[in-house]
Structure 1
Amino acid sequence: MILLIDGNNLAFVSNSVGALSRSDGFPTQGISNFLKSVRSYIGLFEANKVFIAWDGGKSKKRLARLPTYKEGRAVEKKTPEQKMNLEEVLAQIPFIKQAVADLGLYQLGGPGIEGDDMIALMAKKANQMGEDAVIISSDSDFHQLVTPKVSIYSTMNKKAGRHITFDNFSKIYDGLRPDQFLEYKALQGDTSDDVPGIKGIGPATALKLLTAFDSVDKWRHLVDGGSLNPNKTQQKIIDGWETFQLSKALINLHTPLADFSTAKIERQEPNWGAVRQMAVEMQIAAIFVDFANWIKPFKELS
C-alpha cells in the first residue's frame, strides 16, 4: 500500500489541533500532530511506502487561464487569526520537512508545481502499476481520482465518509460516480481556490443533471440537437458554458494544467538520531520519551 500525503493540507490541519509549544513559545503542535498522523496512517493502512507532496507555488498555466486563481489565499485577504495560523505553519514546515527526510520518507515537489498535481501524477502511476494507493487530504478535488486502486482518506475527523473508496463513492455522493465528479464540481466552482463555476448551480442541480444524463456534454448534445429543452436553471449552464469549461480545466487532475519539468522525488537514508534530537529540542515528549517504540512503524517501511 502506498500513501500519498498532501503535505501542506496535513500541516495546516495539524496546526489547528491543540496548542503545543516549546518553552520559549515557538509553536510545535503542527510538527507533533503531523508526525503523529503520518505514523498513524502507516499503521492504519499497513503502508510500505510513503510519499509527501509539497506545494511549490501556483501553476503558471492555471494563472494564465485565470489570473485571479487562488487570489483569495493572499495574506492581505486573511483575517488576523488566519494570518497567525499561516505564520505558525510556515515557521514549522521546515522542521516538518527535515523530520520527514530524516525518517526516510519520499518527498515530492518542485518550483511552480502544486502539490495536488504531484499527487495526481503518482496516483496515475499507481493505477498503471496496479498498486493500491491512499491519498491523504481533505481537499475534495482528489475525489475525481478515485478508482478500484486509489482511495481518499480525509485529514479531517469526519463522522461519516472520511475514507472514500470506489465501492462507497456512489453512496456518499447519492449515486454519483467518480468519473462524474470533475464535472460535478466544475459546475459549482470552488470558492476556496477562486474557481468560478456557474452562478446559481449548486450540488442538487449538478447531481440531478449528471445522474439523469451521465455527463454535461451528453446533456448539451441533446439540447443542441433539439431533443431536449433546458429549464430555467439548466439555461444558466448554457449561458455560462465557457465558465464551466474554464472551471473544469482548472480543477482537472487527470490532465492537469501543470509543468512537471522541475518536479523532484527526494529521499535520503533514515537518520533516527536526528529525529530524536529534533523532538528533544522541540520538547515533543510524545516522540522522544519512548523513541524506540515510536520509530518502529517507520523502520518497517520498505
Structure 2
Amino acid sequence: MKKVLLIDGMALLFRSFFATSVYNRFMYTSNGIPTNAIQGFVKHMITSMETFEPTHVVCCWDMGSKTFRTEMFDDYKANRPAPPQELIPQFDLVKEVVEAFDIPNIGLAGFEADDCLGTLAELYREEAEVIILTGDQDVLQLIKPNIKVALLMKGYGNYEVLDENGFYEKKGLTPQQLIDLKAIMGDSSDNYPGVKGVGEKTATKLLMEYQTVDGILENLSALTKSQRQKFEDSLELLHLSRELATIKCDVPVSCELNDATITIDRNKVANKFDELEFKNLHGFIDKVC
C-alpha cells in the first residue's frame, strides 16, 4: 500500500531553529547566511523518511501571517513575536532544499500549513496510509481511519504516533472532539479565549458527558449555576473559538500523488548541500538514496 508522509514544514523549521539558537549556534555560510534551522530541518526530514519508509512525501508551509483566521479575529496569534532576524532568510532557502529532494512544497496565501495538511490528508487517505509529521498538538484533530499523526518528541527520530485508538486512550475523547475542547478552553498560544474560567479538566468532563459544544449548550440547565453562567457569558466567543480551532480540510490546494513519489537525485541534493556549505549532512543523503 502507498504510504504518504505529510510534513508540517513550519513545525520542523521552528523547532530546529530554537533547538540551536538558544546556544547562539546559527551556523553561518561564508556569505553570512544563517542555516541552523535548515540543517535541523533536513535531519528531521531524513530521519522521519528513514523511520516511516513512505512511498510519497509532501511538505506544507504557512504563507505569511495573514490568514482567514486573522480576518475573523484580529487578536488571533497577535501575541506571537516576530520571527527572529536569523530565521527570516531561512524561510525561502529551506523550500529550495526541499525542492532539491524533488519533494513538493505546498502552501496557500490566506491559509495555514495545517489547512493544507488537512486537505491533502483527506485527499490521499482513500488510496494511501497517511502519516502527518508535526510538533503541533492541534493537528491531532485530523486523525481518522488511514490518517495517523506523528508528534515530534525530544531529539531526532523520537515520535509519539497516534491513531484513533491511541488518541482516545490518551485524551478520553475522539480526535474530532479536540476541536470542541479547544473551543471551550481557548488557546493561549493562538491567543483566542474560549469560555472564560473553564479549563481543560472541566471541558473534557463536559464533552465526555455531552459529546459536543452543541450538546453542552442544549443541556445548560443540567450544568452547575457557575458553569451555566460562564457559557452564557461567552457564547459568541465560544462559537468564534470553535471556528478558529477547526482545521479546514477543503482549501483549494492539490498535489497529485504521483508528483509526491520519492525520487531523490543524489547529485542534485549534494550540490544544494555544497552550495549551503552543509559539510556534516552529506552522510544523511545515503540514508534515503
TM-score normalised to structure 2 length:
0.85
Q: What is aligned with 1:44? A: 51
The partner residue of 2:285 within 294, 297, 300 is 294
Q: Secondary structure at the match of 2:123?
A: helix
Verify the 8 A CA contact 1:109 1:115 in the aligned structure 2.
yes
CA apart distance, 1:234: 4.0
CA apart distance, 1:27: 2.6
How many aligned residue pairs are there?
A: 276
- Matched to 1:33, the amino acid is G
The gaps in structure 2 that reach 5 residues or longer are none
Q: What is aligned with 1:79? A: none
Q: What is aligned with 2:5? A: 3
* RMSD of aligned alpha carbons: 2.6
Q: Secondary structure at the match of 1:235?
A: helix
Distance in 1 between the 2:26 and 2:71 partners? 41
Verify the 8 A CA contact 1:32 1:284 in the aligned structure 2.
yes
Verify the 8 A CA contact 1:135 1:150 in the aligned structure 2.
yes
Q: Secondary structure at the match of 2:7?
A: strand
Structure 1 residues 1-302: aligned runs within 5 Å = 1-18=3-20, 19=25, 21-22=27-28, 24=30, 26-58=33-65, 60-75=67-82, 86-127=84-125, 129-157=126-154, 162-173=160-171, 175-223=172-220, 228-254=222-248, 260=252, 263=253, 265=255, 271-288=265-282, 290=283, 294-297=285-288, 299=289
Distance in 2 between the 1:152 and 1:255 partners? 15
CA apart distance, 1:130: 4.4
Q: Secondary structure at the match of 1:52?
A: strand
CA apart distance, 1:210: 0.7
Q: Deviations over 1:107-151 (max 9, x none)?
A: 111222221111110111123x14211111122211111113111
Distance in 2 between the 1:36 and 1:246 partners? 38
Verify the 8 A CA contact 1:3 1:134 in the aligned structure 2.
yes
Distance in 1 between the 2:183 and 2:119 partners? 20
The gaps in structure 1 that reach 5 residues or longer are 76-82
CA apart distance, 1:253: 1.4
Verify the 8 A CA contact 1:13 1:155 in the aligned structure 2.
no
Q: Deviations over 1:83-124 (max 9, x none)?
A: 5xx222222222211111011112111222221111110111
Identity of aligned residues (%): 27
Q: Deviations over 1:55-83 (max 9, x none)?
A: 113454323321222222252xxxxxxx5
CA apart distance, 1:270: 5.1
Verify the 8 A CA contact 1:109 1:264 in the aligned structure 2.
no
Q: Secondary structure at the match of 2:15?
A: helix
Verify the 8 A CA contact 1:276 1:287 in the aligned structure 2.
no
- Matched to 2:88, the amino acid is L
TM-score normalised to structure 1 length:
0.82
- Matched to 1:45, the amino acid is F
Distance in 2 between the 1:254 and 1:21 partners? 36
Verify the 8 A CA contact 1:6 1:115 in the aligned structure 2.
yes
Q: Secondary structure at the match of 1:132?
A: strand
Q: Secondary structure at the match of 1:8?
A: helix
CA apart distance, 1:296: 4.8
Distance in 2 between the 1:17 and 1:74 partners? 17
Distance in 2 between the 1:183 and 1:242 partners? 14
Relative to structure 1, the CA distance from residue 130 to residue 275 in structure 2 (aligned partners, 3 Å threshold; closer, same or farther) is: closer
Verify the 8 A CA contact 2:195 2:234 in the aligned structure 1.
yes
